[in-house]
Each structure stands twice: as C-alpha cells, then as structure tokens.
Structure 1
Amino acid sequence: MSISKVGGKMKILYMTMMYPVPGCPQKGVFCHEQVKALIHEGVEVDVIVPLPFYDDEYETDTWIFEGVKIRYIKYFKIPGTIGFQYIGKYLYLALKKAKIDFKKYDILHADAPLPAGDAIRRISKEYHIPYVIHGHGLDVFFSNSYREAKNCKKITEICIKVYEEADAVAGVSQKVLNCIKQRVDISSKGYVIYNGVDTEKFLPIEHENKKLELISIGNLIPLKGHKYTILAIKKLVEAGYDNVHLRIFGRGEQETELVQLVQKIKMENYVQFMGYVQYEQVAKALQMSDIFILPSYYEALGCVYLEAMACGIPVIGCKENGIDEIIKDGEDGYLIQGKSVESIVESIKKMLENRRYKVMGVQARKHVEEKYSWRSSAQSLIKLYRNIIG
C-alpha cells in the first residue's frame, strides 16, 4: 500500500517531453510551473523527461531546477517518422532498464500519447497503477503532424489505444478534449485542467506610453496570424490612428516573409521585430504594453494570453480556439474570427474609445487572479488524481 493511501503525501510520476533543460530553461515552462504548484500543494512529484538517444541537448542524467529534481532518460528513436509508432515501447524498455521503483507511485501522469503516454500505459498494465494523459495541443492523435507519413494510421491507432485505456484524460481546454472525443469516448473520464499563470511574477505596473503600445508574442509561423496583425496596423494608420506601435517578439520560419511585408507596405515606423525573448523578460515586455494581440487560429489554449491578462492588459484572440473559453468578449478582451484583418482593426478601435483598454486591463487582471493561477490549476489536477485513486 502506498503512503498516500494511509494518510501521507500523494506520489506522482510526471513524464513529459516538454520540460526545461539547462540550455533552454523556458522550454515547456508551463509543465514546470504546474509541477511546482503541485509540490506547493503537498504532492510529491518525480519528473522524468525522455530524450532520444541522439539528442545532445543535455548529457547529465539529473538537474535540479527551482527546487524540482528532473531526471533525463535516453531512449531509442530513429530521426523522422520511421518507426514512430514504436517509440512508446522503446521508452518503456529504457524506463525498465533505469530500474525505477514504479510501485511507490499512486498516479502515472504523461503529457502526450507518444512516447510518454504509451510507455506509461505499459507500466500501468504491469504494475496496476492508474494513469492520466494530459493533452496540451490540438493535434491529439498526431494525425496532422504526420499526415504525409506512411505509418500515420498506425501512429493514430496507438494514440487511440492510449486514450482508451487511460483512467483519466486531461485537456488544457475543452477544445482539446473535443478533439479527442472525435475518436474516443472520454465522456466519463475527461477533465479540463486549464494552465495557469504566476500572478506574482506577471503583474501590472504603472506606466504611460507616448504611443499606444501593442504587443504580440509567438513563434513566427503562419498559424499565429502575425500577417493579419501587421495588415491591421496598416489599416489603422490609414484610418488616422497613427499614434500606434507594434512590437512582435518571436522567431520562426516566417520571419523573412513578415519583415518583407512590413517593408512592402511601408510600416517600418510602426512595426518592430524584437526577435527571441528570454522567458524572464516576457513579464517586463508585457508590463510596458497596452494591448496584447495574437490572432492564432490553431491554439489549444495559449499561456501567453493569461500572462498578458495577469499584467493588466486586455487581449485579442481567436474564436473557436482554447482561449475563447477564458476571454470575456468585450470585458477583458475581444474574440475575433481567424484570418480577419477587419476584426483586429475594429477591436483596437473599440479599446481606444475613451481609453477603454485601461478598464479592460483591470478586468483582465481580476479575472486571472480569480480563476487562472497555477495554484488553481494544481488544485484541479489534485481533484482529478483523487477521483481516479478512489
């Protein structure tokens, strides 16, 4: 019998590919923040981060980061999609070789169906320990990422099996759970566990800008919708709203294209590319801004919206994405149709009326404090754990 079942701490094995490494401490920081919150709530958590054997990102076996001990385990994986459906099995074998004492855990927690989920599923069967699969993205069966791969069908079948056999399935939004429900009946075991935000790190500060400072933070890839934000700035300026300035933080495959677009439409004085930003600098960048815009049209949730709201600035996000479960349209931000330049323009105009963005920013901070701290997220997850332990 485990300690938790006789009144001690609940013990969780938390396995994820999305977790900080020394060279990139902001990688998967949302998982790390959740683990810290769980520990703060009295849960004992061991973190395992699987790495392909050829990954030289970090060679040491363990690392203690902000009080959390992380163990890195290398497993066999061929680069690319060849044999991808087997990586859960390969990770399982690597875990067995590592001689981990699985019997001490009450719950096994994996962040995705492959490789962690399938490995956890096999361990669960062997040791009779319940397991949770936690979906952080919309491609819940990898059927989009690997749709061109010959083994896509087999990959999807493994993912389905992992969800079917799980004792509970968590999603960072109802949108994520709905994606899973399209192929697997999780009606009796699906839980929405929203990500949170550190409201002590991300908080408002008094500032007054000479221009309306707009900010966007996200990878420079098509689905983030940066192109539509840039075109919206062009329309605002043409309409006489020329006292605006947009800073875009991020790097990605679309960077050259977006820079050229700004040059083509002669918006160099209004749009500034800031490049990659360290996570510890994100709060400062948000605190000095007035409105956050990220018209991403394929988003499971988006922690950066919560971080912006926590800093007391209203946000603009897309309908029919995870964030539309959080933004109160017209109160602490606006929800727009994806790929709609006009919607972005109209939303900014509304916020400018009588400096309405100031009032909306106060509401945004209040909303996040009430419902979306990391403590709230951890408490929801603990409730899930207790439900499946019985």
Structure 2
Amino acid sequence: MKDRIKILSVGPYGERRIGGVQYVTNMILNSFLKEKYEFIVLDTTIPIFYHEWRIFRFFLTLQFAARLIFILFRKRPHIMHIHSSNVASFLEKGFLILLCKLFSSTKIILHLHGSRFEFLLKNKPWFRKMVKMVFTMTDAIIILSENFKQLLTNLVGTYNYIIIPHGVDKRLYDETIVERLNDGKVRLSFIGLIGERKGCYELGVAFKKLVAEHNIKNLHLEMVGREEEPGELEAIKNFYERLGILPYVTFYGLKVGHEKIKILKQSDIFVLPSRHDSFGIVNLEAMAAGLPVISTRQGAIPEYLIDGENGFLFEIGDVEALTEKIRILYNNQELREKMGLKNKKKIATFYSFDQILKKYDALYQQVHTGKNQAELNTPFI
C-alpha cells in the first residue's frame, strides 16, 4: 500500500466551545479525507482559564511550540494545515509557522478565519509587516471570501490565496425530521456567541420596537449559544429585562448537532446582526434548514446572502433597518418560504460538505505535488 500524505492539522478541535474554526477542523477529520490522508492533530483549543487570565496565554503558546517541534521530528509530516482566527491567534500561529520553517521542510497551509484583521491591517504598519513576514513562509493561504482576498491584496500584496468557504452537512439537515409547533408563534432565532460583538444589544432593541411600536405579541426570540466573554450572558439578560422583552426570549445555551437543527427547523426567521464576522457559518446552517436570513454586510456574508433574494442585509448597528427587515418577513409567510427554498438550493449547489471537501482534497494535492488542480478554480456564486 502506498504511503499516505501526512498532514499535521493545527487548530482547536472537539464540540466544547465550538466555533467556526472547530466546525471546519471537525468537518475535515470526520470526512472521506481521513481515509486518503494520514492526519496528525495538534489541538490548540484555549481552555476557559486562559480567557479569564490572559497574562498566562504565553505559557500555553510555549506548550504548543514544544509539541509542534516534537511532532515535526517524530512524525515528519508532509504538510502543516494551521488555523488562525483572531489577532492573538494569528500572532501565536505565526510563531508556530516560524518554528516549522526552522526545524523542517514541511509545506505550510495557513487558514485564516479571523474577523478583526481589517482595522489593524489598515491602521497599524507593524501588523502589516508581521502579516507579510508570516505569508512569505507559507505555500498557500486559505481565505473565506473574494472580499477578504481583495483586502489582503491591496494592503499586504499578492500571495497564493485560495478561496475555500465554509460548508454545511446538508444530509444531516435533510435527515432530521422535525414537527412544526402549531402554537401561533413566529420564531426568530439567533445562534452564536452571546455578546456585543454578535450584535445582541441591537437585536434586543429591534425586538423591543417590534413588540412595543408595532404591537407584535406572538413573536418569540430563540437565543442559542454561550457567552463570548465572562459576564456577557448575564449582562444581555439584564438588558433584555430592562427592555421588558425577557418574557418573549428563550436562552438555550450551547446546542450542537440535532438539537441545534431542531431549533432551526422550528424557527421562521434567522438573524445574525454581527458587528464583526469573517463568514457567518451559522447563516449557512440556517439556509440549510430552509430559513430566510437577516444579517450584516460583513466579510463573506454579502457573497452568499443577496439582499431581497434569499434574505436581507443591513449595515452594522442600524437598528431601524434590522427592525424593518424582521417586520417584512414576519408579515409575509410566502416570502419567508420562497427565500427558504432558494437557500436550500444554494446550499446544495455550492456549500454542501461534499463540494467543500473536494476543494481541500485538491489543495492538499496541489501543495504536495506542485501541480495545479482544476477543482480549485471553480467559483462560488
């Protein structure tokens, strides 16, 4: 049997504290690719302790570095696929990339998931220099959207950027049968980190306007997710209580798998009013469940969510626009269903796991062999 290509996958894993990066790493490791390639995992999940005591984060990075060097010498991987999210993560992963270059001939794929790069790239020359230094050590850079590619090209320069968006396990949504609740309520769902960054305060104000000014009494808000920072969940609940909307809201906490799909399939409208988001993977999940989506013009979101066609877009912090978009869908069940059907079709055509995994397969082959793969040139519309 021919030896398989060894791929060292560096990033967070598992379903605890699951986010966009974990969603991707789990997707790859649980797919047909695990039969084709030999995956070696370096789990860089950040325990809650280090979120609360960030001063000690440096020591955790040193642990990751020691484990990386051990793997490089012991396992000798052909490719390192390393995932980076926020700015702190990028600095950490940049250090690991430098070590990989110093101690091995392993080829490097950097996977950028972060949502807060734009400000630093535009305003901090030191950060641009850091990004260029890291980019020059890579063989390929995975980004999530054409929008981000243009931003990086303009501010950092031209490198081997490969656009691979997130995907959804369409079969899981198709196989999950859920009975609709016939209680007269119209359900508005939100899934994500509970806090300011995901627009939870604006969502509360918009909901208040719908209840108070438009006299809508049968609208219910379903909030799914954990708090992003310690104390944010309690702060949001207190804010909603002061607004007088807490009786109309259910906080479910973190839900994954069939539990999350059930909530989506029992909903009528999905909303993600993020202030910062690189992709908004939960929008794709809502689309797979057949829901119309309301979201902000952030990152890749306008590339798959067309305003007025399969959902609505609005500007960050524009509570009036958010309120109006929810009101339009609340009042028009036919429009909700029409947009939902378009979303299911779009997921099946462009964003299913099967489509996205072919891209990763082609990229691994291209980086390993140096031969261009046609699959990577297929556009996402």
TM-score by length of 1: 0.78
Contact 1:230–1:271, Cα closer than 8 Å, also in 2: no
Residues 9, 94 of structure 1: alpha-carbon distance in 2 compared, 3 angstrom cutoff: closer
Asked if 1:331 corresponds to 2:309, the answer is yes
1:286 alignment counterpart: 264
2:113 alignment counterpart: 136
Residue identity over aligned pairs, in percent, reads: 26
Residue 135 of structure 1 and its aligned partner are, at CA, apart by: 0.6
Query: In terms of mean alpha carbon deviation, does 306-315 or 205-214 score higher?
Result: 205-214
3-state SS of the aligned residue for 2:316? coil
Residue 165 of structure 1 and its aligned partner are, at CA, apart by: 1.7
2:219 alignment counterpart: 244
Asked if 1:95 corresponds to 2:46, the answer is no
Contact 1:111–1:117, Cα closer than 8 Å, also in 2: no
Contact 1:170–1:190, Cα closer than 8 Å, also in 2: yes
User: Paired residues, what number?
Assistant: 350
1:380 alignment counterpart: 359
Contact 2:289–2:344, Cα closer than 8 Å, also in 1: yes
1:110 alignment counterpart: 82
Root mean square deviation of aligned Cα: 3.3
Contact 2:277–2:298, Cα closer than 8 Å, also in 1: no
Residues 106, 206 of structure 1: alpha-carbon distance in 2 compared, 3 angstrom cutoff: same
1:43 alignment counterpart: 37
Contact 1:318–1:338, Cα closer than 8 Å, also in 2: yes
Question: In the alignment, residue 32 of structure 1 is paired with which amino acid?
Answer: N
Residues 279, 160 of structure 1: alpha-carbon distance in 2 compared, 3 angstrom cutoff: farther
Where structure 1 has 5 or more consecutive residues not aligned to the other structure, the ranges are 58-78
CA distance in 1, matches of 2:119, 2:321: 31
Question: In the alignment, residue 343 of structure 2 is paired with which amino acid?
Answer: A
Indicate which of 267, 273, 276 corresponds to 2:254: 276
Question: In the alignment, residue 28 of structure 2 is paired with which amino acid?
Answer: Q
Asked if 1:199 corresponds to 2:180, the answer is no
2:378 alignment counterpart: none
Residues 49, 141 of structure 1: alpha-carbon distance in 2 compared, 3 angstrom cutoff: farther
1:255 alignment counterpart: 233
Q: Which has the higher helix share?
A: 2
CA distance in 2, matches of 1:88, 1:175: 31
- Superposed counterparts of 1:330-369, under 5 Å: 330-351=308-329, 352-369=331-348
Contact 2:223–2:250, Cα closer than 8 Å, also in 1: yes
Indicate which of 266, 271, 293 corresponds to 1:315: 293
CA distance in 1, matches of 2:149, 2:33: 26
CA distance in 2, matches of 1:81, 1:182: 34
Indicate which of 6, 10, 13 corresponds to 1:11: 6
3-state SS of the aligned residue for 1:37? coil
1:123 alignment counterpart: 100
Residue 288 of structure 1 and its aligned partner are, at CA, apart by: 0.9
Residue 208 of structure 1 and its aligned partner are, at CA, apart by: 5.0
CA distance in 2, matches of 1:264, 1:88: 41
